[in-house]
Structure 1
Amino acid sequence: MKKFITAFMLLLMTLTFMLPQKSYADTSNNKKVVLVIIDRVSLSDYTKYDAKNIQKLINNGSVGLMNVRNADGYVDASGYLTFGTGTRASAHDIGQISLNVNEKYSFGTAGEIYELNTGDDYGNANIVNIGISNLIQSSKRADYKITPGLLGQLLKDNNIPTYVFGNSDIITDSSVSYRRYGALIAMDEKGTAFGDVSENVLKYDRNSPYFISTDYNKIFDYFQKYDKNGGFFVIDTGDTSRVDSYSSNVSDQLASKYEEYAIKNADAFIGKLLKNLDPSRDLLIVATPYPSKSDMSTNNLLSPIIIYGPGYNGLTTSITTKRNGIITNLDLAPTILNYFGIKAPVEMLGHPITNIKTQDKVNYLENLNDKVVSIYTARPIVLKSYVIFLIIILILYLITLFLKINYLKYLKPIVLGVMIVPLSLLILSLFGPLTVYSSMIALILITIALLLIIKLFAKNELNMLIVISLLTALTITVDIFTGAHLMKGSILGYDVIAGARFYGIGNEYMGVLIGSTIMGVMALIQKYDNKATKFSGVLFFALVFLLMVLPQYGAKIGGFITGFMAFGVTLLLMSEIKINYKNLLILFISMVLLLTLMFIASMFMDTVTHMAQTALIVKNEGITALYKIFARKLNMELTLIRYTIWSWVLIITIMSLFILSYKPTGILKSIFKKNKYIYYGFFGSIVGMLFALAFNDAGIVAASTMCIYAFPPILIMLEGEIRKSEI
């Protein structure tokens, strides 16, 4: 067995360093990138209102859905600022306000107030953010680096001119609501920019809400004036945003009429732009930083992104998501920099948007969006219902165990069914978008069907535990190896709208995979205690571990830590090596050393993994950046422990184990003595839970899903032991 462990460790050390390489494109200067903002619309609106020029961009360019979450969740100004920082940012109050320098604001002109607030001269810029000092200070209080104006500054440093035109202002007789958010994308780090965001780019229009609309003729004149020198242009069309704000004052029919008018005007403007752009060298991006009110109310929170230019014709994707048709708002700034041949700094957490060739793009994205929305909508309800049901069944089983043991025959199948649910949730993803209640009904039916099928082949509880655990582990393993297609569509898998993870393995299925693998293998060895079974078990541990942590598969650093300790402790026990402080410390130090080597290697290997990105941040910003990351993850973990219902799974498990340790007297010890390999798996799982809690930003979830496979088998064996003791 010690030879097995040595081979296992060598295999891990060799394969863990098989990391992909990344290269940066080298592009020429004097080209144009034009970012047209059409806010608060959906992809279907362009088809619905027959926007011919935009449809031309969709047909001949790349199109996708964009996660637009920012540091404030969903705040429009923060979404624009996130475009310009390349990391989730927050634009607070006065930090949102950009004005032309000669515009009056409060007690002076914008230029005068800017100089008063900053102590700086705005130079030859004609747009200033009068709250840039507040914006910089509030960004510094974040536990990760945010640099307002980073995109504009990098372009400026490389002599690439930037311009911003247009606004989404709402003007009434009594007030002006300044919504010049486009400047948050194009400004430099001093909060200055060049262009026109004043009322000068608006015109009186009785057909538009508030009787104002964007004066596209003026904006086009500006564009023609400056486009000869190339550069980066941000054009805020504005009208669709005003329509959305006004929609609550009118009927749905009128709101739709105004939206059609706004979209068609923007579409006509894009048609004029296209005549002045060279698709073989210039880049046109049409983006929506913020969803409409109606989309927000129906959880349609992914916004459309369209890119037209060389190399783009298909679906958008990026290394950030590794999902066909899905990117994030963090990817926009690196894409623009990459197009101008500028390397994005490590604080920009996104990656350049790339292209995936495909047919029937719009239909694909509509189906994808339906599935993503259904997962986002069903996830909290279905998972909360499952956890509540799990907790109730565990409590009922304990009560029945002590008071009415004869009734356990009714509860045992339900306990086994609870263990099947994570597998059922994988299978459920094959059925496409479902409503919440349809999902719950289908989940119950799939679980019952699996339970009945398994019962046909496994005649006793131990066999059923083996089959359920190993079938779950094998299904997840195969799914990860083949691209995680089931996990991507599972309610227990990724939530693209929440945006915590887009690929690899998440905390939920990480816990399921580790727990089911350990208990399944140990139960199998308990039944077939021979060298062949043990050797197969070690190989399966190694395979699961590698697939869980390698960047092209699971890409889970928390899984590396949790899996290393959980599998490691289980293997030590299998080898009859005593678990004491010394051996645990040696195992822990081995894990830390290997992790450190990977971390250091990531600083110099130019890779695109989460670890590599963290390593590069530490390399550039110093060790304090690592402390901030740990602090953020710890804060997230403590918040989750307090508020997530998954915490109760762990609480009930701990309380149950405490009770069973004392009553019935010695029964738990007796079970573990008779089933030593089950004990090894249980102990290894407990260690895994502790490390999942300590070293994962949502470790409470991983620890709780591990419990699903660690604790129920003990309860089922308890029932058998109590029956024997009563005979």
Structure 2
Amino acid sequence: MKLKMTGYFVGIFLFLLELSTSAYGFEAQNERSIHKTMPDKQVTIISISGLSFMELKSEQLDVLPHLRQMIEQGAIGAMNIRTANRTMRDVYVSMGAGEPTVGLTDLQAFEADEMWQGTLIPKLRERYIGRNVGDNSLQLNPDSLIVPDIARLLKVNAKKAYGPGMLGDFLKAYGIQRTVIASGEESHISSVDGDKVRRYSPLMLMDSNGFVDKGVLGRGVLTAAVDRPFGVTTDYAEMLALLGKREPSSVYLIEFADLYRLYADKEHYPEARFQELKTQILLEMDQWFGQWMSAMKDQESLWLFSPEVHNEAARGKMYLAPLVHYTRMSQGGLLVSESTRRPGVVTMQDFTSTLMDECHIPLPAGLSGLPLSTSLKANALGDLQQELSSIQMIYRSRPLLLYPFVTCEMVVLLVSLFYVMWVRSGRFPWRRTVRTLLYALLVAPAVMLILGLITVPLTKVLGIDNSILLLIGLFIGGSLLLSAALERRSLFTSMIWLAYGTAGIIMMDACIGSPAMKYAVLGYDPMIGARYYGIGNEYMGVMIGALVLGVTAALQRRGRPVLRGLGPVAAFLLVTVCLAAPSLGANAGGALSAAVAFGVAGVHCFAGDRWRELRLGRGAALLTALLALGFGALWLLNSADSPAAAARESHVGRAFHALRAGQFDQIGYLIERKLRMNVHLLRASAWSKVLITSLFVMAVLVLRPRGRLRVWKAENPYWMYGFSANMIGAIAALLLNDSGIVAAATMIIFVAVPMLLLRLQELETTLKTAEE
């Protein structure tokens, strides 16, 4: 009866939680002006390679009035353009595919009447592809652009859901003309000068046959200029003239490369001359913007983005690139994406989906990007710049704080193991220091999370560099102070407070929109697109491990399960369902891992003696049932029929859509991607070393002295059940998450450290007994 009442309570709580978060989603939606378009939409996309947010600072925009107008009256966002190789060719191909895709260094686009290595481009393509493949009418069009080596690009990306050319195929199918005008060359000579050719922008609008309807590349829009980098500059007047006559339904991609060429040639210039040229280039582009914006019609849409930030921005860890949308009807604000749920931060896949939405093209199933919308906001650029400073500060803090901490974890674990195994004489000197350091490993994630709350104000007041130093000092000091306070109390009391407190802080933060996790060093990483919302794998492992430890420590201290597990079961259910809830982020692997860890802990603690020895058959049946329950919770909360998913769909919900539509190839690709990521992290991530170190420490403690495990089971049975549940949960997290190494490492710490503390307590008890 009590268990049933617990279920009702949890159900009501979650229903109210979903309503509150769903209401937030509806409210935000009403505040946005969704980009709906009129028929015969004309879209112009301006790509400025080398542009970053460094060029959009207020003092710079003071001399760029038209760019300022575009930003203030339009909508601005920071776009994640990270790809596997961090090159603009990958960005262009990825935008054309609607998903992260790999480009090729020597793959270029050409005008139909050009030659390459003595061969006409149509003939070169015919050599590779054959005569009867593709659109023959386009092959004969002298204005078209051709990627002759398209077959090699498609072969490299054969396992993608749609692959290169997806965007171009849909634009072509819906009768929308595609035109690319690009000035990316580093030479005004013929395209035979191969080392100077940079023809990557057409890869965004080409179809899967390697064709773009119309285009002008390189020499057609370049003019010789001896005083400019590489002796060339963009012919802005010619670019404007080429845009004069447009089809009623068309997408134009305009690439300006003067800024890129300047940074590529920077080493030859003194700083004063470099800044003079940079200002001149930006002014020329700004004048062109003004001419084009004044000629725009009501149905026209203008986008501006950067496919690659320049080297100075990259060195400063400013990897997010500007994305601006402008129409004559714009009112100013931030670009908003449901893919990131973070105003102002968007993905390049969102941009692709938005272009298709603007052209009234139904989005195909399986695209990860979602159409962008605009949240009306005054001073949007200023607020976004402040947000980017905080993101930049956290990104730069990681190698200075997180990586040394991971190394410290391994050192403390090994030193503590040596201490409890081999120190045998005297009064165990430094034991309080060792115990304090072990507690510090457990409190550190909570301290990192709490510090996320002060990241933004710190950055505003102190700037990035000073904030990093203060953040590191506060982390070290806060962790040691909390650890020293816990060390003075009894082991089980300390574990209960620490574990419940850690799990509670993470859960509370997630339920109110993750204001701390957004800026925590162990939290999200928008720079690389690791995760934008919900509970990430790092804190998922911490929360599950801490909650299991806290519950079993409380049961162990009381000596029997109080209220037959009413409170623990309610906590387990609440955390599992919240990990599955779409409005809180829907961490699918986390929900399944929680179902396994909590289920095993619950069975051990409350199901009676018969289930405490899980033999192979019974254990397999239990794990299967727990995974089925976890999957069922994900399905109920994230499927299309769920009210929660209808209000705010997550990436898990989109995966269920693909499953229901029978797109098993996409599910298979998703699983393969997760496995590849785990294999990569196993070799490259420092967390894999933490996991291995923890397993080694645990193995030594169990095997030496012989029979120790049997003694612990007799004296601390509930805590041993918690250790077992966390071990099995860590294995589940490792197998069920795309960065499972991280989740398993953060979870297993809540086994290795308590085992060391338990052994240390035994040694102290033995010493006291001997003295008496």
Alignment TM-score, normalising by the size of structure 2:
0.87
Alpha-carbon separation, structure 2, partners of 1:73 and 1:488: 26
Alpha-carbon separation, structure 2, partners of 1:505 and 1:596: 18
Q: Is the 8 A contact 2:74 2:326 kept in 1?
A: yes
Partner residue, 1:721: 762
Alpha-carbon separation, structure 1, partners of 2:594 and 2:436: 29
- Amino acid paired to 1:102: D
Alpha-carbon separation, structure 2, partners of 1:683 and 1:626: 31
Partner residue, 1:149: 165
Q: Is the 8 A contact 1:12 1:546 kept in 2?
A: no
1:545 corresponds, among 563, 571, 576, to 576
Partner residue, 2:52: 42
Q: Tell which deviates more after alignment, 208-217 or 419-428.
A: 208-217
1:321 Cα offset (Å): 1.0
1:264 Cα offset (Å): 1.4
Q: Is the 8 A contact 1:5 1:571 kept in 2?
A: no
1:454 Cα offset (Å): 5.0
Partner residue, 1:306: 324
Alpha-carbon separation, structure 2, partners of 1:493 and 1:360: 27
Residue 73 (str. 1) matches residue 82 (str. 2): no
Q: Tell which deviates more after alignment, 148-157 or 560-569.
A: 148-157
1:245 corresponds, among 264, 280, 294, to 264
Alpha-carbon separation, structure 1, partners of 2:276 and 2:378: 31
Return closer, same or farther for 1:12/1:651 CA change in 2, 3 Å cut-off: farther
1:603 Cα offset (Å): 6.8
Deviations 1:505-536 (A, max 9, x none): 11111100101111112212323445348322
SS of match in other structure, 1:63: strand
1:171 Cα offset (Å): 0.6
Q: Tell which deviates more after alignment, 346-355 or 532-541.
A: 532-541
1:85 Cα offset (Å): 1.4
Q: Please give the residue correspondences for 1:14-53 in structure 2 after superposition, counting only pairs within 5 Å.
A: 27-46=37-56, 47=58, 48=60, 50-53=63-66
Partner residue, 1:374: 393
2:435 corresponds, among 408, 412, 436, to 412
Deviations 1:572-600 (A, max 9, x none): 11213414234433333334434555777
Return closer, same or farther for 1:116/1:543 CA change in 2, 3 Å cut-off: same
1:202 corresponds, among 222, 225, 245, to 222
1:308 Cα offset (Å): 1.3
Figure out how many residues of one structure are paired with residues of the other and give that number: 719
Partner residue, 2:529: 499
Q: Which runs of 5+ in 1 are unaligned?
A: none
| Alpha-carbon RMSD | 2.9
Alpha-carbon separation, structure 2, partners of 1:314 and 1:600: 35
Deviations 1:340-371 (A, max 9, x none): 22122234321111222333222222222222
Q: Please give the residue correspondences for 1:385-396 in structure 2 after superposition, counting only pairs within 5 Å.
A: 385-396=404-415
Residue 695 (str. 1) matches residue 736 (str. 2): yes
2:549 corresponds, among 491, 502, 519, to 519
SS of match in other structure, 1:284: strand
- Amino acid paired to 2:503: A
Q: Is the 8 A contact 2:538 2:743 kept in 1?
A: yes
Residue 641 (str. 1) matches residue 641 (str. 2): no
Identity %: 23
2:293 corresponds, among 271, 274, 280, to 274
SS of match in other structure, 1:450: helix
Residue 423 (str. 1) matches residue 446 (str. 2): yes
1:496 Cα offset (Å): 1.1
Q: Tell which deviates more after alignment, 428-437 or 387-396.
A: 428-437
2:105 corresponds, among 81, 93, 99, to 93
Q: Tell which deviates more after alignment, 568-577 or 613-622.
A: 613-622
Residue 476 (str. 1) matches residue 506 (str. 2): yes
Partner residue, 1:623: 664
Alpha-carbon separation, structure 1, partners of 2:754 and 2:169: 59
Q: Is the 8 A contact 1:87 1:347 kept in 2?
A: no
Alpha-carbon separation, structure 2, partners of 1:564 and 1:595: 5
1:33 Cα offset (Å): 1.3
Q: Tell which deviates more after alignment, 696-705 or 190-199.
A: 190-199
Alpha-carbon separation, structure 2, partners of 1:14 and 1:322: 20
- Amino acid paired to 1:554: G
Return closer, same or farther for 1:222/1:620 CA change in 2, 3 Å cut-off: farther
- Amino acid paired to 1:488: K
2:116 corresponds, among 99, 105, 114, to 105
Return closer, same or farther for 1:486/1:637 CA change in 2, 3 Å cut-off: same
Q: Is the 8 A contact 2:10 2:570 kept in 1?
A: no
Residue 55 (str. 1) matches residue 68 (str. 2): yes
1:617 Cα offset (Å): 4.0
Q: Please give the residue correspondences for 1:156-235 in structure 2 after superposition, counting only pairs within 5 Å.
A: 156-171=172-187, 177-193=196-212, 194-226=214-246, 229-235=248-254
1:687 Cα offset (Å): 1.0
Alpha-carbon separation, structure 2, partners of 1:83 and 1:155: 13
Partner residue, 1:490: 520
Q: Tell which deviates more after alignment, 116-125 or 182-191.
A: 116-125
Deviations 1:596-622 (A, max 9, x none): 557777675586322233334455674
Deviations 1:620-674 (A, max 9, x none): 6743433332222212212212222222222222222322223234333323322
Q: Is the 8 A contact 2:555 2:562 kept in 1?
A: no
1:450 Cα offset (Å): 2.8
Q: Is the 8 A contact 2:222 2:233 kept in 1?
A: yes
Return closer, same or farther for 1:712/1:592 CA change in 2, 3 Å cut-off: closer
Alpha-carbon separation, structure 2, partners of 1:131 and 1:13: 58
Alpha-carbon separation, structure 1, partners of 2:665 and 2:303: 37
2:722 corresponds, among 681, 686, 694, to 681
Q: Tell which deviates more after alignment, 595-604 or 72-81.
A: 595-604
1:83 corresponds, among 90, 95, 99, to 95
Residue 657 (str. 1) matches residue 698 (str. 2): yes
Q: Which runs of 5+ in 2 are unaligned?
A: none
Alpha-carbon separation, structure 1, partners of 2:8 and 2:496: 23
